[in-house]
Amino acid sequence: MERCVVKVRRVRGGDQNLPCYMTVHAAGMDLCADLGDDLVLNPGERKLVPTGLAIALPDGFEAQVRPRSGLALKHGIALVNSPGTIDPDYRGEIGVILINHGSEPFVVRRGERIAQMVFAPFARAELVEVDELDETARGEGGFGHTGR
Protein backbone atom coordinates (compact mmCIF):
# COMPACT_ATOMS: atom_id res chain seq x y z
CA MET A 1 0.00 0.00 0.00
CA GLU A 2 1.42 3.34 -1.04
CA ARG A 3 1.37 6.14 1.52
CA CYS A 4 1.47 9.89 1.10
CA VAL A 5 1.90 12.67 3.63
CA VAL A 6 -0.84 15.29 3.38
CA LYS A 7 -0.58 18.62 5.16
CA VAL A 8 -3.92 19.90 6.47
CA ARG A 9 -4.97 23.37 7.65
CA ARG A 10 -8.12 24.34 9.51
CA VAL A 11 -9.51 27.26 7.50
CA ARG A 12 -11.42 28.87 10.39
CA GLY A 13 -9.52 27.40 13.31
CA GLY A 14 -11.81 25.63 15.74
CA ASP A 15 -11.79 22.25 17.39
CA GLN A 16 -13.49 20.09 14.80
CA ASN A 17 -11.97 16.63 14.36
CA LEU A 18 -9.68 16.07 11.41
CA PRO A 19 -10.72 13.44 8.87
CA CYS A 20 -9.74 9.92 9.85
CA TYR A 21 -10.16 6.34 8.70
CA MET A 22 -13.08 4.71 10.53
CA THR A 23 -11.74 1.14 10.15
CA VAL A 24 -8.33 -0.43 9.71
CA HIS A 25 -8.94 -1.26 6.04
CA ALA A 26 -10.99 1.80 5.03
CA ALA A 27 -9.92 3.38 1.73
CA GLY A 28 -11.51 6.76 2.47
CA MET A 29 -11.41 9.30 5.29
CA ASP A 30 -14.73 10.85 6.26
CA LEU A 31 -15.14 14.59 5.60
CA CYS A 32 -17.40 16.51 7.97
CA ALA A 33 -19.53 19.62 7.52
CA ASP A 34 -18.11 22.79 9.07
CA LEU A 35 -21.24 24.88 9.56
CA GLY A 36 -22.27 27.64 11.94
CA ASP A 37 -25.96 26.77 11.60
CA ASP A 38 -27.80 23.70 10.39
CA LEU A 39 -28.28 23.57 6.64
CA VAL A 40 -31.56 22.26 5.20
CA LEU A 41 -31.31 20.50 1.87
CA ASN A 42 -34.78 20.19 0.33
CA PRO A 43 -35.65 17.47 -2.22
CA GLY A 44 -34.02 18.27 -5.57
CA GLU A 45 -31.85 20.99 -4.03
CA ARG A 46 -28.05 21.15 -4.12
CA LYS A 47 -25.72 23.20 -1.94
CA LEU A 48 -22.01 23.64 -1.38
CA VAL A 49 -21.13 22.46 2.13
CA PRO A 50 -17.85 23.69 3.60
CA THR A 51 -15.52 21.31 5.42
CA GLY A 52 -13.31 23.93 7.07
CA LEU A 53 -10.21 22.19 5.73
CA ALA A 54 -7.55 22.93 3.14
CA ILE A 55 -4.85 20.43 2.18
CA ALA A 56 -1.48 20.29 0.46
CA LEU A 57 -0.99 17.07 -1.46
CA PRO A 58 2.38 15.80 -2.65
CA ASP A 59 3.00 16.11 -6.39
CA GLY A 60 1.60 13.12 -8.27
CA PHE A 61 -1.35 12.59 -5.89
CA GLU A 62 -4.98 13.65 -6.05
CA ALA A 63 -7.73 13.50 -3.44
CA GLN A 64 -11.06 12.16 -4.65
CA VAL A 65 -14.20 13.32 -2.83
CA ARG A 66 -16.87 10.62 -2.96
CA PRO A 67 -20.38 10.12 -1.57
CA ARG A 68 -21.11 8.17 1.59
CA SER A 69 -23.18 5.08 0.82
CA GLY A 70 -25.20 5.30 4.04
CA LEU A 71 -26.42 8.82 3.24
CA ALA A 72 -27.30 7.72 -0.29
CA LEU A 73 -29.25 4.65 0.81
CA LYS A 74 -31.05 6.12 3.83
CA HIS A 75 -31.69 9.69 2.63
CA GLY A 76 -30.95 9.93 -1.12
CA ILE A 77 -28.02 12.28 -0.50
CA ALA A 78 -25.38 12.25 -3.24
CA LEU A 79 -22.58 14.38 -4.64
CA VAL A 80 -23.28 16.33 -7.82
CA ASN A 81 -19.75 15.85 -9.16
CA SER A 82 -18.62 12.45 -8.07
CA PRO A 83 -15.86 11.85 -7.63
CA GLY A 84 -14.71 15.41 -7.16
CA THR A 85 -10.98 15.86 -7.71
CA ILE A 86 -8.66 17.93 -5.54
CA ASP A 87 -5.47 18.67 -7.46
CA PRO A 88 -2.06 18.84 -5.73
CA ASP A 89 -1.74 22.58 -6.40
CA TYR A 90 -5.16 23.56 -4.89
CA ARG A 91 -4.89 25.26 -1.50
CA GLY A 92 -8.45 26.48 -0.94
CA GLU A 93 -11.11 25.09 1.35
CA ILE A 94 -12.53 21.71 0.41
CA GLY A 95 -16.22 22.04 -0.36
CA VAL A 96 -18.69 19.24 -1.00
CA ILE A 97 -21.62 19.78 -3.39
CA LEU A 98 -24.48 17.76 -1.90
CA ILE A 99 -27.76 17.05 -3.68
CA ASN A 100 -30.93 15.65 -2.13
CA HIS A 101 -32.43 12.96 -4.38
CA GLY A 102 -34.73 11.90 -1.53
CA SER A 103 -38.36 12.80 -0.91
CA GLU A 104 -37.85 14.56 2.44
CA PRO A 105 -35.77 17.57 3.51
CA PHE A 106 -32.37 16.56 4.89
CA VAL A 107 -30.67 18.55 7.65
CA VAL A 108 -26.87 18.81 7.58
CA ARG A 109 -25.42 19.58 11.01
CA ARG A 110 -21.98 20.76 12.06
CA GLY A 111 -19.60 17.82 12.37
CA GLU A 112 -21.81 15.47 10.33
CA ARG A 113 -19.92 13.09 8.04
CA ILE A 114 -20.99 14.16 4.54
CA ALA A 115 -18.47 12.59 2.15
CA GLN A 116 -15.31 10.57 2.02
CA MET A 117 -11.89 11.46 0.68
CA VAL A 118 -9.64 8.92 -1.05
CA PHE A 119 -6.02 9.66 -1.97
CA ALA A 120 -4.62 8.24 -5.21
CA PRO A 121 -1.54 8.62 -7.39
CA PHE A 122 -2.14 9.78 -10.93
CA ALA A 123 -0.26 9.90 -14.22
CA ARG A 124 -0.07 12.85 -16.60
CA ALA A 125 -0.61 11.85 -20.20
CA GLU A 126 1.24 13.06 -23.25
CA LEU A 127 -1.23 13.20 -26.15
CA VAL A 128 0.06 12.15 -29.57
CA GLU A 129 -2.23 12.97 -32.48
CA VAL A 130 -2.54 10.21 -35.09
CA ASP A 131 -4.63 9.64 -38.22
CA GLU A 132 -5.83 6.17 -37.13
CA LEU A 133 -6.01 4.10 -33.96
CA ASP A 134 -5.13 0.40 -33.72
CA GLU A 135 -8.04 -2.03 -34.07
CA THR A 136 -9.50 -4.00 -31.14
CA ALA A 137 -12.21 -6.65 -30.85
CA ARG A 138 -14.48 -4.09 -29.18
CA GLY A 139 -13.88 -1.38 -31.73
CA GLU A 140 -16.22 1.60 -31.30
CA GLY A 141 -18.82 -0.30 -29.26
CA GLY A 142 -19.94 1.64 -26.19
CA PHE A 143 -22.96 2.54 -24.07
CA GLY A 144 -24.62 -0.84 -23.81
CA HIS A 145 -22.77 -2.54 -26.65
CA THR A 146 -22.66 -5.83 -24.71
CA GLY A 147 -26.46 -5.98 -24.46
CA ARG A 148 -26.71 -5.37 -20.70
Feature table: binding site: 68-70, 81, 85-87
Closest by CA position to 77, among listed 109, 117, 107, 33: 107
Report the largest interatomic distance among the alpha carbons of the chain, rounded to a whole angstrom.
57
CA–CA gap between residue 108 and residue 12 (Å, rounded) = 19
CA–CA gap between residue 63 and residue 116 (Å, rounded) = 10
CB-based contact 115:96 (threshold 8 Å): yes
Sequence ranges of the binding site for substrate: 68-70, 81, 85-87
